Amino acid sequence: MVVLSVPAEVTVILLDIEGTTTPIAFVKAEEDSHLDGAVPIPAASGNGADDLPQMIQAVVDNVCWQMSLDRKTTALKQLQGHMWRAAFTAGRMKAEFFDDVVPAVRKWREAGMKVYIYSSGSVEAQKLLFGHSTEGDLLELVDGHFDTKIGHKVESESYRKIANSIGCSTNNILFLTDVTLEASAAEEADVHVAVVVRPGNAGLTDDEKTYYSLITSFSELYLPSSS
Ligand SMILES: CSCCC(=O)C(=O)COP(=O)(O)O
Ligand SMILES: [Mg+2]
């Protein structure tokens, strides 16, 4: 098995969700007007209830368009959170995690690591996902959650803010993600990164494969402190 040694200065593991802890297939279900093919929600005409059917249809069309592009807008992710709340709390849905995730996270925590989540999904949706998994309530395995309210995942400033909020230096953090743009932003902030390669994830270029440390399972991470 390939092993990636975690630098000794790392005390925090920051996890992406989609494509990292959880299959993309489980999850897929600002201002966009500048985008090609945007489906806008028009302003109401002021005719009150007369507008309602058209407004509802416009919102549905806009949401379908955003979903078709896998947009990570805060508004769409809040809507996802509301829908997940209904489905998870009624017991109609259980979240999936890759098999290696829960055992590895338990091991990291036993070794004294803190584990945080940073996802485009809203904190509410993250808590629903961890709280209603096929392996039970996993919320106790997580020290805290961040979403795009702290900043976008492709902006390095977001990672500085996360370190500040946790109360550590950026180089105390190891960020695991499937998206190289996120890895690059984190690295620019002096965060350690590893790119997670999972079934169903987008492919990486040869340059990306050469440049980044890659793991296909959390079990490939070796913590010197846990040996
Ligand atoms: C709270 S889980 C939902 C994840 C999600 O909606 C999403 O767009 C994936 O984002 P991530 O940053 O976890 O890759
Ligand atoms: Mg992801």
Q: What is the percent of the chain with per-residue pLDDT over 90, rounded to a whole number?
A: 65
Q: What is the percent of the chain with per-residue pLDDT over 70, rounded to a whole number?
A: 89
pLDDT value, residue 107: 97
CA distance 57 to 46: 17
CA angle 12, 223, 136 (to 5 degrees): 65
Ligand 1 center to 165 CA (angstroms)? 21
- Predicted confidence (pLDDT) at residue 38 exceeds the cutoff of 80: no
- Predicted confidence (pLDDT) at residue 95 exceeds the cutoff of 70: yes
> Which ligand sits nearest to residue 17's alpha carbon?
1
Ligand 1 center to 147 CA (angstroms)? 9
Give 147 or 55, the one with higher predicted confidence: 147
Residue 77 annotated in ligand binding: no
pLDDT value, residue 29: 65
pLDDT value, residue 30: 44
- Label residue 104 by pLDDT band (50, 70, 90): very high
DSSP states along 99-130? TTHHHHHHHHHHTT-EEEEE-SS-HHHHHHHH
Give 213 or 63, the one with higher predicted confidence: 213
- Predicted confidence (pLDDT) at residue 177 exceeds the cutoff of 50: yes
Ligand 1 center to 126 CA (angstroms)? 8
Write down the mean pLDDT value for the chain. 90
CB 79 within 8 Å of CB 63: yes
- Label residue 74 by pLDDT band (50, 70, 90): confident
SS3 197: coil
Work out the burial of residue 147: count CB atoms within 10 Å of its CB; fewer than 13 is exposed, 13-18 middle, 19 or more buried: buried
